[in-house]
Structure 1
Amino acid sequence: MNKIQFLVSYLIVYCLILLTSIYLYSYESLHTPKSSKRDAAIVLGAAAWNDKPSPVFQERINYAINLYKNKKVKYIVFTGGKSKEAPFTEAQVAKKYAMEKGVLEEDILTENKSRITEENIINSKIILKEYKIKTVYLVSDPLHMLRSITIAHTNNIKAYPAPTPTTKYQSFKSQFTFLTREAFYFSGYLYYKFLIK
């Protein structure tokens, strides 16, 4: 086996291991009961359509509201900024939606600047410190969990996975697209965080 064949074989094995790890973690975290109480739920941002959350974002918000109403968390931290064209930040849209569903305004915290997952989590850390929040549920889609939890733990946030059971990524095509995208972004994060730095 020459060097090129070895490299190709290595990359194939790496990709298979990574894809499998992401999928298995999503499955495990989805089927683990959320019986313990945490101080807050951090909802990772997703698209907002004017003043309405996109279907994907709405399911994340709904699950955080479910945790809140079942007294699993005291606070909900909504994250997400906006593009130049958008009238509201993702966090503002989520807050409005949650309040319409009965969440008290004083129990909602917002982070309005982030545009990517890592920023969602790092910027939230400032809010957690301000409100003396020690433990959180991290709310997002199941296939997003491994990368999100890794980022949180790398930043010394005591986070636990809380994937949305009603994720909009249900078809094989949508799940496979999300899975491969997550593998790409997760690889990039690991390479930058642990090899470049």
Structure 2
Amino acid sequence: MSHPPESAQPGRRGRAAVWARRTVLGALLVASLVLGGTAFRVWQVALVDQRHSADMIVVLGAAQYNGDPSPVLRGRLEHALELYRDGRSEHIVTVGGNQRGDNYTEAQASRIWLVEHGVPERDVFEAEFGSDTLRSIRAVSELAGRHDWNSALIVSDPWHSWRCRTMAEDQGLRAMVSPTRSGPTGEVRTAYILREAAAMLFYRVMHASADITGYGLD
């Protein structure tokens, strides 16, 4: 049995190495395009304000300190209050659990703030479960089912809007977003958009939440 000359062996190894490098570079290029396209969609939806009428206005939770909403949460509550006063819905759903040792949940702190600012207690509903976005949206969906509500106007931060809306739609709700106009800016904004895009891709593939913390946002 004849064998190729030894001089041919490095050529074959070299060609294999070239194809391996091309495969890796191609995979990296595809991954970059997918992440970039997803990040663009995060940015695109962040600019949308779908403040149409809905069965409920949903305020996604953020940090609270012994019943006092953090600046991020207060911004969401002020926006939800504006929507409520504009007649976009007769019901506001506050969302979010608590950390160990907390006296209040995020939902409770939000409800207290809204009532103190003139919203009748009968119009505010709490969904106190959910330590991440997906669990929060599922809690909202369960509450909506009990009240025969089908549509939601979701209030969160701009860069969080697409993922919130997608998760709510996957739970069977007709979901719209009306984001606050606060949130990270500059380099921090870019980093947050990319991380939010990665979280969205994770959700698409795994159907699970990969929530982002940092920059004062949940």
**TM-score (normalised: structure 1):** 0.90
- Residues 89-120 of structure 1, C-alpha deviations (whole Å, 9 max, x = no match): 00000001111110110000001121100111
Q: For residue 143 of structure 1, report the CA deviation from its aligned partner.
A: 0.8
Matched, 1:17 2:31: no
Off by >4 Å, runs of 4+ in structure 1: none
Separation of aligned partners in 1, 2:53 and 2:155:
14
- Residues 38-78 of structure 1, C-alpha deviations (whole Å, 9 max, x = no match): 11101111111221111111111111111111111110000
Letter in 1 for 2:32: I
SS in 1 for 2:175: strand
SS in 2 for 1:95: helix
Name the structure 2 match of 1:187.
201
Structure number, greater radius of gyration: 2
Separation of aligned partners in 2, 1:50 and 1:187:
34
Name the structure 1 match of 2:160.
144
Matched, 1:105 2:125: no
SS in 2 for 1:138: strand
Name the structure 1 match of 2:173.
157
Separation of aligned partners in 2, 1:85 and 1:174:
30
Separation of aligned partners in 2, 1:92 and 1:181:
29
Name the structure 2 match of 1:26.
46
Q: Which runs of 5+ in 1 are unaligned?
A: none
- Contact kept, 8 Å, 2:80 with 2:155, in 1: the verdict is yes
Letter in 1 for 2:41: S
Matched, 1:38 2:58: no
Instruction: Give 1:5's match in structure 2, choosing from 16, 22, 25.
Output: 25
Name the structure 1 match of 2:191.
177
SS in 2 for 1:156: coil
What is the RMSD of the two structures over their aligned residues, measured on CA atoms?
Answer: 1.5
SS in 2 for 1:163: coil
Separation of aligned partners in 1, 2:78 and 2:147:
23
Instruction: Give 1:87's match in structure 2, choosing from 98, 103, 115.
Output: 103
Name the structure 1 match of 2:77.
61
SS in 2 for 1:110: strand
**Count of residues paired in the alignment:** 188
How many percent identity over aligned positions? 24
Separation of aligned partners in 2, 1:181 and 1:86:
28
Separation of aligned partners in 1, 2:39 and 2:53:
31
